[in-house]
Amino acid sequence: MQESSSLQTLQEIKALMERSSKFLSLSGLSGIAMGLIALAGAAAAYYQYQTAWAPQNGTAYWNLHANHRQEMVQFLFLDSLSVLVVSLTLVIVLTSRKAYHRGTSVWNSASRRLLYSMATPLLAGGVFCLAILFKGPAMLVFPATLIFYGLALVNAGRHTWKEVTYLGFTEIALGCAAMFVNSYAYLFLCWIIGFGFLHIFYGALMHFRHERINDRMIE
């Protein structure tokens, strides 16, 4: 009986230390929302390309008129920026809501470590992708975004749920595979899988594995 009580005490201490050292208010629902927004952005880009720029005979991107290529790059930049802004807003709102309901602060030492660990790969990846857009080949932008984003998630996974680390490794693997793809259509598909469906899958996994269980315990 005493041994069982000691084991329970150790588990409680371990759980308390984990809560203090890791940011566990990250919402799985925010991952689902990010995936859905990424899919919406991809659908908008595909529709715009098919209706505004792609010739009827399916000419490749580099055979489009120079003005159309410039318009396309501008649209994709604004589309990606919109997806990023809306996604970050929802992550902040849903995560803050989760932290509020649990009586914790969303801005603490753990969340700061989480953001710092993601900052370097994301900033370096952003500069790298901009350089590729200006100097080419532009096809490498798709796998590069997946790889650098995956590296940021692997770093962040040390400070939050382990599913974030798994998502990071999956993004890196998908990006490495996409490096050897020579079709814009398949590269676009890899991007949709990485930023859309994988976010939805891992977000749902986090929600049902951690949040639903913890919410029942709180109730």
**DSSP code string of 100-147:** HHTT--SSSHHHHHHHHHHHHHHHHHHHHHHHHHHHS-GGGHHHHHHH
Token output for 34: 């990010």
Whole-number pLDDT of residue 172: 97
- CA–CA distance from 130 to each of 104, 116, 119, 138, 147 (Å)? 38, 22, 17, 9, 15
Please classify residue 163 by burial: count the beta carbons closer than 10 Å to its beta carbon, then call 0-12 exposed, 13-18 middle and 19+ buried.
buried
d(CA 58, CA 50): 9
Please classify residue 145 by burial: count the beta carbons closer than 10 Å to its beta carbon, then call 0-12 exposed, 13-18 middle and 19+ buried.
buried
Contact 64, 53 (CB under 8 A): yes
Among 202, 148, 146, CA closest to 171: 146
Among 207, 208, 204, CA closest to 36: 204
DSSP H helices in the chain: 2-21, 28-48, 66-101, 109-135, 141-156, 162-178, 184-192, 198-206, 212-218
d(CA 110, CA 21): 6
Give the pLDDT confidence of 5-61 residue by residue, as tens digits. Answer: 555 555 544 444 444 446 667 788 889 999 999 999 999 988 887 776 665 445 555
% of the chain with per-residue pLDDT over 70: 76
d(CA 39, CA 62): 24
Give the pLDDT confidence of 145-179 residue by residue, as tens digits. Answer: 999 999 999 998 888 888 999 999 999 999 999 99
pLDDT band at 210 (very low <50, low <70, confident <90, very high): confident
